Amino acid sequence: VQYQSRDYYYLKIRLDKNQPAHFKLIKSHFTDEMIVYFIDLDIKGWVGPYSIQILKNNPNPISGGLNTQNILIEISVPADSDVMFPVQEIIGPEKRPENFNDLMAPTGKSGVLPAQYRVGTKKLNSFSSTVSPIQRDHLKNILLCGYWPPSNECIRPFSTALNHDGWIGDNWEERGYDIHAYFPEFSDPDCENCGQGDGDLEVDYQDTSEDWWNIVDSINPVAIITFSRGGMDYRWEIEWMCTNWEESEWIADFEEPLYPTPSPPDSTYPQNTPRYSSLPMDSIYSAVSLSGLNTYPVIDYTYGTGNYLSEFLGYHGLWYKAEMDSLNIISSSCHVAGHIHIGGYVDWDDAHEAVKLTLREVIEVLDENEVIIGDVNYDGLISMVDLYFIVSFLMGEIEFDDNELIIADVNFDLSVDIYDVLMISNILLES
């Protein structure tokens, strides 16, 4: 078909059934002005556009995913141009890799708790029961981040500043966690070609990174879920990995400098190497699948997060968790982090409900990993043994490390003293 000085070529594909499908692209077949879309004929959704400018830094390009039986490939070029078909093959369905369990970041207790309590016998020459002040909130913070709609709008009620009807994240559902959301805004809130946006986490490598570190430093999140828009479909796509790409692998953003600086963004980790999600992916998948919402869950085990701002933002979440893991300090723990792509057709209200389902599954993991204040010996309960250890510490008979000082501070007054002994005693008497 020729239209407005361009030729359009269409190929219709019918698969045996609805199933996840990606397309391996042949980069050398893309001419300078070729544009390719992959269209889901069942929902009139799409992934794309793909062009040589978008693919130039990707040596083995693979399209975003569709989940359909009926596919239309649209290829457009300047009129009367020669065309070589730029699609090599369909890839799918996605399967969990054989090395999944080896690579998956642990979310169980053994993966997040500090080193086991060491019962010491060393006498202190002198000691004070007062410990150095530790910034700690009675409620724990969970961070949500978004980019293009619906990924920003579905978390808006969790923003302390940009919500319409008041912040709903304060001790959300009385679960003991404050939920904080950060995202950019756009002149057209329901945009398709949205651009960079304004505010926090603009769709720009440098702005995202600068805002990111300010945000996490201010709220010290115990869990992070980053969101962004995927293809124009109804997916709730849970990403397994985000990669620390070198500069040549990133897709350009909107303003100079067009690529991350530095690149790779994380100098502490090998370039072109992924970090892995610690979200409870299977339970999120099940919760969204059974919800009746007009979004369908997918776990993407294979093809990464897109080499663009989605991957960049998602990598920052996994990077921050790894940094906090390396400190091994309870007051700085981040137990869960991961990225989710949301289809551009997902209704904002449905997406918000899916966010809440995702949060509940994440909080369940956090609760399973929660350290019990007063349980100095990490045996899962407060007992006479814990009372004995605290008294022994006050008598100078044993030492506590930084984590044990936090756990022994039962009344949250930033010191370990006789008042903590009294509170432990009351807990034991009431049990």
For 6-31, write each residue's pLDDT tens digit. 999 999 999 998 888 889 999 999 99
Q: Quick check: is 322 in a domain? A: yes
pLDDT at res. 103:
66
Compute the chain's Rg from CA coordinates.
25
| Whether residue 238 sits in one domain with residue 335 | yes
Quote the domain boundaries for residue 427: 113-134+371-431
- Lowest average pLDDT, out of 62-66, 282-286, 334-338, goes to 62-66
Instruction: From residue 165, give the alpha-carbon distance in Å to each of 159, 187, 190, 347, 364.
Output: 10, 20, 19, 19, 27
Is the predicted pLDDT of residue 112 greater than 60, yes or no? no
Helix (H) or strand (E) holding 423: helix 418-430
Average pLDDT value for residue range 239-250? 94
Its pTM stands at 0.78
Phi first, then psi: give them for residue 162, nearest 5 degrees: -115, 20
Residue carrying structure tokens 């651009």: 195
The CATH number covering residue 127 comes to 1.10.1330.10
Q: Quick check: is 141 in a domain? A: no
Q: Quick check: is 103 in a domain? A: no
CB neighbours of residue 302 within 10 Å: 18
For 342-381, write each residue's pLDDT tens digit. 999 999 999 999 999 999 999 999 988 777 888 898 888 8
pLDDT at res. 136:
44
Last residue of a domain, one of 346, 369, 392: 369
HEC secondary structure over 222-259: CEEEEEEECCECCEEEEECEEECCCHHHCCCCCCCCCC
CA 275 to CA 285: how far, in whole Å? 20
| Whether residue 230 sits in one domain with residue 170 | yes
* DSSP assignment of 118-184: ----PPPSS--SBPPP----SSEEEEEE--STTTTGGGGGG-SSS-SS----TTGGGSSEEEEEE-E
Model confidence at 330, pLDDT cuts 50, 70, 90, reads confident
CA 184 to CA 201: how far, in whole Å? 6
Domain total of the chain: 3
For 253-312, write each residue's pLDDT tens digit. 999 999 999 999 999 999 999 999 999 999 999 999 999 999 999 999 877 788 999 999
| Whether residue 207 sits in one domain with residue 72 | no
For 201-243, write each residue's pLDDT tens digit. 999 999 999 999 999 999 999 999 999 999 899 999 999 999 9
Q: Are 414 and 134 in contact (CB under 8 A)?
A: yes
| Whether residue 356 sits in one domain with residue 285 | yes
- Both tokens assigned to 256: 């100079």
| Whether residue 45 sits in one domain with residue 176 | no
Q: Which residue has the higher pLDDT, 35 or 91?
A: 35
CA 133 to CA 130: how far, in whole Å? 9
| Whether residue 375 sits in one domain with residue 365 | no
pLDDT at res. 332:
78
Model confidence at 65, pLDDT cuts 50, 70, 90, reads confident
Locate all alpha helices (DSSP H) within 308-398, ordered by sequence: 309-327, 348-369, 384-394
Q: Are 32 and 81 in contact (CB under 8 A)?
A: no
CA 234 to CA 220: how far, in whole Å? 32
Helix (H) or strand (E) holding 21: strand 6-25
CB neighbours of residue 146 within 10 Å: 30
| Whether residue 323 sits in one domain with residue 409 | no
